[in-house]
Structures are given as structure tokens and as C-alpha cells.
Amino acid sequence: MQSSLLFFQAYQWLASKLLLWYKEHGISNLTGVQGAVNIQGEDQKKLDVVSNEVFSNCLKSSGRTGIIASEEEDVPVAVEESYSGNYIVVFDPLDGSSNIDAAVSTGSIFGIYSPNDECLAEIEDDSTLDKVEQRCVINVCQPGSNLLAAGYCMYSSSVIFVLTIGKGVFSFTLDPMYGEFVLTQESIQIPKSGKIYSFNEGNYQLWDDKLKKYIDDLKDPGPSGKPYSARYIGSLVGDFHRTLLYGGIYGYPRDKKSKNGKLRLLYECAPMSFIAEQAGGKGSDGHQRVLDIKPEEIHQRVPLYIGSVEEVEKLEKFLA
């Protein structure tokens, strides 16, 4: 998959730069806020802007990408005709960027949707898409039927690139000595269960009673005498990667303030759910597969519960 390989290159460049910036971030003047607010209403960090430009430029020059939709852009952008390909690529260039100034794990997430000629034929090149054009992008970006590839890159104690193209989940680790990603895990399988839950319990009072009962149940030591352990980094990529390897469940529920939760369907929940399912796990909004959700708009938010199949199914029983 050409576009996935392009992500390797983008990640390679970005990861090596991030590693350098992380090491020198105090003097590279790349921490802190950019002074702008994105469409999500979040303060844009300087590295949010830099990483968005890196991925956008890499994808635009690939010759394989027709449209890009980024968490950092208000609307999707069509690639200029002379460089344009067909794939629609959605991405969150730097998720968890509020952690940057504390040098805590962050990551980039992407999904690649299959080409749709009639949709692309409608779209003017190198322009931000108008409402009609956005509608055709939404019609193409059906996670359950059209998501061809998904992956993320985690920038942490090591830089790890995780990818699926629908034939299992593979991870690659950046070897800083050579500046290359090397295959480190093949056909990753999420443990069927795991006694780790990853929720921001600061929102507990805002959750509905069924969810509160579920969380309370996890804390009950029960006959084993051992309750679940709580782990929460506040970075989806870091929390998901731990769940992928150790098992358990990550959740970002809806609450009284955020009726659909916080995470975005197209470039966070759907790619992560595709990876989870490819690894034998599950991604749900509490009632249905995330991959069965029909998107209504580019930055649509949905509740997300993802991880070990037995843990997600246990959660779904409490919410039924």
C-alpha cells in the first residue's frame, strides 16, 4: 500500500526530528502553544502545526493521495491535480499533544480509504472542499467497508509504528542508529481479557449510572481479592498501545458535557478499532461496532470502548 509506505517515510522524518526535539525541546523552542485554536476548540501546539505540515506535504507529493482530512484542518483538502492519486487519507498528526511539554508519550494516527473515482472526479484540485465535496468524502469514508489500512506511530521511550492493511497487525520500531524502522512484532493478538482499565475517572460524576456501575464493579476485589488496575496516560496512542499488548480496556465515554464523547470517528476511533479487530480485539461505541457507524461529518465524535474482546463485551452488557 503506497500511502502506508509514505507514512513510513513521513514517520521516519518526523520521528527522527521529534526525537531530536524531545531531547532538546527546552532549547528548540518547539514546545508550548502556537497561539491558535483548531476546529476542535483545542489550543494548537507548535508541534501540532509542524506535524500536520509534514504529513500533508508528504502525502501531497506521494502521487497516491487524492484527498487529505486532518484533525488540524477545518475541512478536507484535495491534492493538486498534477500530484493527485485516489486514496483518501485521514489523520490526527499529533494526538495527545497536551503531553508534549512534559515529554509524555504522544502519537500520530491515520486511516486510508479506498479510491472512489466518481467522488474524486467531482472535486476541484488543490482546494479546500465545499459542502458538496465534503459529502462525497463522507460517503467514501465508510469505516466498515472502505477502510483499507490504519496505523499509528507512538513517540515514547521508543518510536513504534503499528500498521494493519487488513491482514493482521504488525509493529516496527525505529532504530535511531540507522534511522530505519525494523519489524519487531508480527500478527499481534490482544489478550482475550485483561484486568487493566483506562478511563479518565475525573469525569465519573458526568457519566450515566450504568457506566458508573461498570466502573464500580471493576474496583470490587471480588473472590480473587484483586480489583482491576487503573492506567491512564491521557494519550490515546499510548493507552491503546499498552492495551494492544497487555489487554484490558480503554474508554472515552459520552458524558453530560460531551454528548458524543471526545474522540473523532474518522481519524481516531475507526483506525484504532480496525487495528483492534485485526488483533482479535473489539472497538465499540458501547452498543455497536465502531466500524459499523456511518459517518455524518468529517470531525464527528463518538464514544469509544476498545481492547480485549471479553472486556469490551463486559462493558457492553453493563450499558445494555
Helices 209-219, 309-319: crossing angle, 10 deg rounding: 140
Binding-residue total with ligand P6P (CB under 6 A): 10
Which of 235, 243, 273, 284 binds ligand P6P (CB under 6 A)? It is 235
In the complex with ligand P6P, which residue's Cβ is closer, 60 or 262?
A: 262
Of 29-37, 229-237, 273-281, 292-300, the window that binds ligand P6P (rule: CB under 6 A) is: 229-237
Residue 133: all three cell numbers together? 465535496
CA distance 33 to 48: 9
* H or E element at residue 307: strand 304-307
Which of 66, 96, 143, 253 binds ligand P6P (CB under 6 A)? It is 96
Reduce the DSSP state of residue 256 to 3 states and report it: coil
DSSP string, 44-102: EEHHHHHHHHHHHHHHHTTSSEEEEEETTSSS-EEPPGGG--SEEEEEEEEETGGGGGG
Residue 61: all three cell numbers together? 507529493
In the complex with ligand P6P, which residue's Cβ is closer, 85 or 286?
A: 286
Which of 98, 156, 185, 193 binds ligand P6P (CB under 6 A)? It is 98
Q: Taking the CA of residue 73 as centre, how many other CA atoms within 13 Å lie in the half-sphere pointing to its CB?
A: 24
Residue 72: all three cell numbers together? 488540524
Beta bridge partners of 284: 289, 305
* H or E element at residue 194: none
x-or-dash string of contact with ligand P6P, 4-43, rule CB under 6 A? ----------------------------------------
Residue 67: all three cell numbers together? 484527498
Go through 48-58 and write b for each residue having 16 or more CB atoms within 10 A of its CB, e for each that does not.
bbbbbebbbeb
In the complex with ligand P6P, which residue's Cβ is closer, 262 or 282?
A: 262
Q: How many CB atoms lie within 10 A of CB 31?
A: 17
Q: Judged by CB under 6 A, does residue 271 bind ligand P6P?
A: no
Residues 196-225 that bind ligand P6P (CB under 6 A): 200
Closest CB 263 distance from ligand P6P, rounded Å: 6
Rounded (5°) CA angle 258-133-146: 70
Closest CB 99 distance from ligand P6P, rounded Å: 8
x-or-dash string of contact with ligand P6P, 150-189, rule CB under 6 A? ----------------------------------------
In the complex with ligand P6P, which residue's Cβ is closer, 174 or 263?
A: 263
Of 78-86, 175-183, 235-243, 271-279, the window that binds ligand P6P (rule: CB under 6 A) is: 235-243
Which of 262, 303, 307, 311 binds ligand P6P (CB under 6 A)? It is 262
Residues 236-255 that bind ligand P6P (CB under 6 A): 236, 239
Residue 107: all three cell numbers together? 502519537
Of 137-145, 153-161, 204-212, 230-238, the window that binds ligand P6P (rule: CB under 6 A) is: 230-238
Measured in whole angstroms, the distance separating CA 152 from the mean position of its chain's CA atoms is 7
DSSP 269: I
Q: Judged by CB under 6 A, does residue 95 bind ligand P6P?
A: yes
Closest CB 155 distance from ligand P6P, rounded Å: 12
Which residues here bind ligand P6P, judged by CB under 6 A?
95-96, 98, 200, 234-236, 239, 262-263
